[in-house]
Structure 1
Amino acid sequence: MNVITETKYKEENINDDTLINIQEEYKKTKIQEVLNQLDKELIGLVPVKNRIKEIAALLLIDKLRMQLNLPQANPGLHMSFTGSPGTGKTTVATKMADILYLLGYIRKGHLLTVTRDDLVGQYIGHTAPKTKEVLKRAMGGVLFIDEAYYLYKPDNERDYGSEAIEILLQVMENQRNDLVVILAGYKDKMERFYQSNPGLSSRITNHVDFPDYTAEELLEIGILMLEEQQYQLTQEGKEVLLEYIKRRMNQPHFANARSIRNAIDRARMRQANRIFNSLNRVLTKKDLVSIEAEDILKSSLFMDK
């Protein structure tokens, strides 16, 4: 095709009056159902939800461009999720896998979550088969590597994490049409990790930062967790749980929703013990479903009271 013919072909393509009902195309993908589930399952995280919607919109438009034989920008699908533990990174990764599958960017749609221990061996010749086995299981879906920065330990020359990274880099580049990789971890540690591994950084297109929850959002999360198990928190219990959350947020190893789930489990245990110690009276259904303030106040965080 000479220059004149090629130019005419491009002009005809661009001036094509083919009509596309974007709402109808969007509806057919069922992406909105996934986004609705995300809204329902996760409290807050508005910036994250908006970012996922933006990524979904870009992928949909690229799909429509492909159908009209327009040039493809080859959107990078590998992602980075940064934030504290318990901020919903794994849940969002699962929904992202659903979106990629619905749009046809991956053929299976499953999510495989791994850590360093799943990829890196402890002796020479052990890492490559471990990493390749994980990648084989992840093919056609999304590989979610939590605390990915632990793959790289520059202070240990006998560490085999760099071998896993090299294999990962090759697959991310050569088989990017059959595997999406999401690297996750604390923001500051991930930034240092990318600085030390420019090859990885260049392959990550979408960076999504997960903010910590507010105390009020964590209270709402706690209430939802209890309701899912058909428990109810009394009004005084809600006030005490909010105070517990504010105190816990200032303690070491705080993990957002994960810490609240642990607190809820312990409150249920104290409630069961309280009920067991009152067997000399008849119980009602309300007794069995109610979490009282005292079930939370017995936490060590309230020892000063």
Structure 2
Amino acid sequence: MKMKNNGQINIVLNGQKHKLKLTHKQDPLLTEKNANKHVILNDIENEMSKLVGMDEMKRIIKEIYAWIYVNKKREEQGLKAGKQALHMMFKGNPGTGKTTVARLIGKLFVQMNVLSKGHLIEAERADLVGEYIGHTAQKTRDLIKKAIGGILFVDEAYSLARGGEKDFGKEAIDTLVKHMEDRQHEFILILAGYSKEMDHFLSLNPGLQSRFPLVIDFPDYSVDQLMEIARRMLFEKQYELSTDAEWKLKDHLVAYKAGTNPKSFSNGRYIRNVIEKSIRAQAMRLLLHDEFDRKDLLTLRSQDLIFSDEK
């Protein structure tokens, strides 16, 4: 089956950058003939389809699934089934879906018996770094212990290297690196943060680069993608935008993204905040006008839209 090229993606595998083709209209793994063989992949892709964009991540998950599946077939034939460390680095601005994807990866890996539990432990600098010598290593070990069988997700991981050599963040990094090696098949470590800061973080700790075989970029959403996120969020809550409200939101997003530092724009999180504020504004309008028929209850109008002052 010939795949249609919709562009390309960049991925870093074992320190080497590769360009991969994006995706095809029909998944050859999930044809009617093969569907019963790949039920797990089908379930995961159904969940991933609920996410807007994420083309790179969807491709990576499929590759990991294929590798695990083929390894099982090798074992059945008495061949060596190699193990790979699956620690990852997610690079991107806030609200681009990094935590959501980490949870989906946990679900896939527990179904494929790569992880025993698949749970997600979320952490940041304060959860890892202590106040005196030895305290940081213990805090970090405790978090890793909680993450055994699942994923330890450290957001804004670059902050661990901000204080220089005398900062306790270095102790946290050293402890993480040790356990990544000693227990590399018992848990998965995902470090996440802004792209530029994570690149700088890796340059300060050159030994880390080789320990993350999967480095994945999460690009900002386009205006059209943000609008699709808004529609999906509203659909789940049983709301819809009037035509005027849809145009007002789109015009706002075009202007807002053009005038905002990308690092301070929270993407999908911004959309969620706008929707939640607007739903409350709609409730006040309906209460004041005593309008409660089905169409009124469903529809957010342009006057209901409340935009965040986030900058």
Q: What band does the TM-score fall into relative to the shorter chain?
A: 0.7 to 0.9
Amino acid at match of 1:270: A
Equivalent position to 1:33, from 40, 43, 66: 43
**What's the CA shift string for 1:162-181, capped at 9, x where partnerless?**
11111111110011111111
Tell whether the 8 Å contact from 1:231 to 1:290 is kept in structure 2 after alignment.
yes
Equivalent in the alignment of 1:262: 273
Equivalent in the alignment of 1:116: 125
**What's the CA shift string for 1:28-61, capped at 9, x where partnerless?**
6x12211211112x01222221122122212222
- Indicate the SS of the match to 2:289: coil
Confirm or deny that 1:181 pairs with 2:155: no
Q: Larger Cα Rg: Structure 1 or Structure 2? A: 1
The two structures, once aligned, show a CA RMSD in angstroms of 2.0
Query: Against the structure 1 CA distance between its residues 48 and 122, is the aligned structure 2 distance closer, same or farther, given a 3 Å change threshold?
Result: same
Q: Structure 2 stretches of 5 or more lacking a match?
A: 1-32
Map 1:134-145; keep pairs closer than 5 Å: 134-145=143-154
Equivalent position to 2:172, from 161, 164, 172: 164
Count of residues paired in the alignment: 274
Distance across 2 between alignment mates of 1:169 and 1:182: 12
Equivalent in the alignment of 1:10: none
Tell whether the 8 Å contact from 1:111 to 1:144 is kept in structure 2 after alignment.
yes
- Percent pairwise identity: 39
Equivalent in the alignment of 2:105: 96
**What's the CA shift string for 1:119-147, capped at 9, x where partnerless?**
11123332122111111110011111111
Equivalent in the alignment of 1:209: 217
Cα distance, 1:25 vs. partner? 8.4
Map 1:3-152; keep pairs closer than 5 Å: 23=34, 26-27=37-38, 30-40=40-50, 42-152=51-161
Amino acid at match of 1:266: K
- Indicate the SS of the match to 1:82: strand
Cα distance, 1:294 vs. partner? 1.3
Tell whether the 8 Å contact from 2:35 to 2:42 is kept in structure 1 after alignment.
no
Distance across 1 between alignment mates of 2:155 and 2:75: 33
Tell whether the 8 Å contact from 1:116 to 1:148 is kept in structure 2 after alignment.
yes
Equivalent in the alignment of 2:208: 200
Distance across 1 between alignment mates of 2:208 and 2:112: 25
Distance across 2 between alignment mates of 1:206 and 1:146: 16
- TM-score, structure 1 normalization: 0.83
Q: Structure 1 stretches of 5 or more lacking a match?
A: 1-21
Query: Against the structure 1 CA distance between its residues 247 and 137, is the aligned structure 2 distance closer, same or farther, given a 3 Å change threshold?
Result: same
Tell whether the 8 Å contact from 2:91 to 2:198 is kept in structure 1 after alignment.
yes
Cα distance, 1:289 vs. partner? 2.1
Amino acid at match of 1:142: I
**What's the CA shift string for 1:220-249, capped at 9, x where partnerless?**
101111111111111111111111211222
Tell whether the 8 Å contact from 2:125 to 2:157 is kept in structure 1 after alignment.
yes
**What's the CA shift string for 1:204-227, capped at 9, x where partnerless?**
001111111110110110111111
Equivalent in the alignment of 1:227: 235
- Indicate the SS of the match to 1:91: helix
Query: Against the structure 1 CA distance between its residues 270 and 202, is the aligned structure 2 distance closer, same or farther, given a 3 Å change threshold?
Result: same
Distance across 2 between alignment mates of 1:133 and 1:300: 38
